[in-house]
Chain A
Amino acid sequence: MSDIACEISDLKKSFGPNQVLRGISMKLPSGQVSVLMGANGAGKSTLVKVLCGVQKSDSGDVKLFGSPFKPKSPIEAYKYGVITVHQSINDGVIPDLDVTSNLLLDSLAQPGKQFLLKRSEMKARATEIAKSIGFKGDLDTVVARLGIADRQMIAIARAVACNPKLLILDEPTSSLSAIEAKRLFEVIEKLKREGVAILYISHRMSDIRAIADRILAMRDGRISGEFEGEDLDYEGAVTAMLGKKMSDFNVDISEVSSPVLQLCDLRLSKDSKPLDITVSRGEVLVITGLLGSGKSLLSSILFGLEKPAYGQILLEGLNFEPNSPANAIASGVHMSPKDRANNAIVGDFDIEANLTLPFTKFFSNFGFIDKKRQRVDCSDMIDTMGIVCQGGKDSIGTLSGGNQQKVIVGRWLLKTCKLLILDEPFQGVDIKARRDIGTHIRATSNNRATLVFVSEIDEAVEIADRIIVLHEKAVVGEHVNKNIDLPELLSQVSGNSNTLKQAESLQ
């Protein structure tokens, strides 16, 4: 039990001026589950990438069973028995192949493997693996036809089949149901008994409670807390991860005037509970929740991309049923979507053209673009958002992620609106850019209602007047952003609000 599978000492990594890992030291013992907790941007994924050979560290040592370990590629890490299941499920499966081939993919990719595939042999091996993780589906099904949970299980099974010595699981339960998660935990228990060291990245309290032997809290590129022993201090871990117990009272709650957006008995899907949410002028409302909590669906509905199952939406008291983004924009609803690379950035364009994209009509006369007006308004926006660039004619590709995000948020602030929706506005943004964007959103929020969707609660408390927690398409918590009990908020997000209370009472 006390064997140290992997020892990391003083690991550092920066991207340009941005220090992501500021000296990480940790030990991962064999036969134990070490849970790594950390807010977005704490450096978790960079740490994983270094361990699995995708990126190289700047300094520091990693030792695997006492010998130095510096993988140059994922294949090398794989050879040493360091297997990673990434958060993005699509990295773990090949949709066009069947389940059998996916499960055996790693052994198929081995050099020196025989040229022809023996179907019966493959099938027998795949059946064995599938059984070990309790996958009950048809092994001949093409993975593209499976649901997201099954895909995730297959990705995990694939990793388990490689006989790992150190298994890294990055948010493995994010798309699994409770039953599937339980199955996963059984597999993890089995691996533990076999002496595999497991690094489990999550901040789902239910997961952590179920399997953690140790908790490592990570914050701003450092290990901010290490918890071991019989009774794990979950609350202490959350505090170490967020850096504070209570939300600091650094947000001046805005004066609220007339309601702008009202959701009346709105059901996101047929079997979900109705939502009644009001956002008023001058208010910044943050809606938070896990993947699948209904956040994305709600933002899509408000921007005309989806239809609600039942219920009514009122915009300034009038019925609001947008049928396209263009329609929503015309009604005065602006939305900055999540995942800027896919949904927002026009890579071939300069900053000005990216900023003005939704409002070309305002920046043109009889269809001809008014370059002067565009330049003036854009350079104002570049200044107020603090976009670091040489000028509005810079290609968007030359900007850092944070500055790109400022452009994308700034795009929707260029014109006034009734309701501004920001879906994950801090995604992939460093802490400074995050503060800049948050400050600007609050500074301009007086004349509109602002609705922000985020999944990280520390982001939420930075900008919100009020926070609503969604879980399984229903409101499970509502907080005015003043001395919020963060562990409670976090447990509401994970859907078991009593867990922490119980943990406390046990102590």
Chain B
Amino acid sequence: MKQIKVKVISLIGFTLSAFGLATTSFAADMPAPFDNAGDVKIALVRFLSTGDFFQAYLGGVESQAEALGVDLRVFDSRQDAALQADMVDQAITLGVDGIIIQHGLTESMKDAAQRAVEAGIKVVAFDVNVENTSIPQVEQSDYLLGKLALEQALKDNGNTFKAGYVYVPGIAPLDRRNVAWEETLAANSGIEEAAVFGTLDNPIANSIANQARSVLQANPDITVMFAPYDEFAKGVKIAVDEAGLTDQVDIYSADVSTADISAMLEPGSAWVATVATNPAVVGEVSVRSLAIMLAGGDPGASVIVPPTLITQSFLSEQGIKNMGDLGAKMPQFQHADVAMTDWMPLPAR
């Protein structure tokens, strides 16, 4: 059970993201309560914290909080749903002004979130539905992640090809990305779904590589692999390289990391495109949404951070080698123009 939990968590971790805008403008005058920002206390109550994505998300939250000058407290429940609810209560007792709930289970967080709202605290939720109309949802669009990648696949390969698809049902972000795949299949009768496979056995990339090798052996004429999670894409790439089909197969995926960038840039790499949101930007957007509420504004019921398409050719043309370069060369990846006001200070770049 624990195994599955850890797997699901690590998977969800890699699938979340955000995007951005590069320029920073310091607004001199901020509305109350930010005129005395040092007295504003906000809390980040986390369900998931291990892994690259969450590290980056936390970085985003911290830098935006610093830019605002508010006092940030981080509560980390380490995947303990009950503890996370208790932590919301702790934050209430602590007298914070705002709370960001990062992931969690609807069942355990719904009541805790309501208690916070009743205590007069402003709350935003990231990637967890707490079923509360006064709590805005910050989310990245998994559907769009899949959709953008598949649009690129159609653009590169036409609408008639034989495809392999990596999918494990039951994992929420993958299920949302799956909607895009099914829509694409329905709209393009020329696409033949030759094989569907997938596993979350740790290390995922290695297990996927073993499966993908078998699939390629059985279907040597596959030309497109849709692997909408970067661990999947890594595994498929290993298998494609090992099968010597690098020139024939194109891999389309979601999510990005420094390691993914170097894999895409390997000579003749089959991994041609990925679609991603920047987790740091999602973190910033979460804090900004909360700040708008604290200042008396309304960020809207749903704050969606749009994803960005990153192609192999773009990476090589721009000489991008890591996430830092990507942010610099691709402003929409560095900053999302979401939850912005004219007074909002942005983190220094």
Direct A–B contact in complex, judged by CB atoms less than 8 Å apart: no
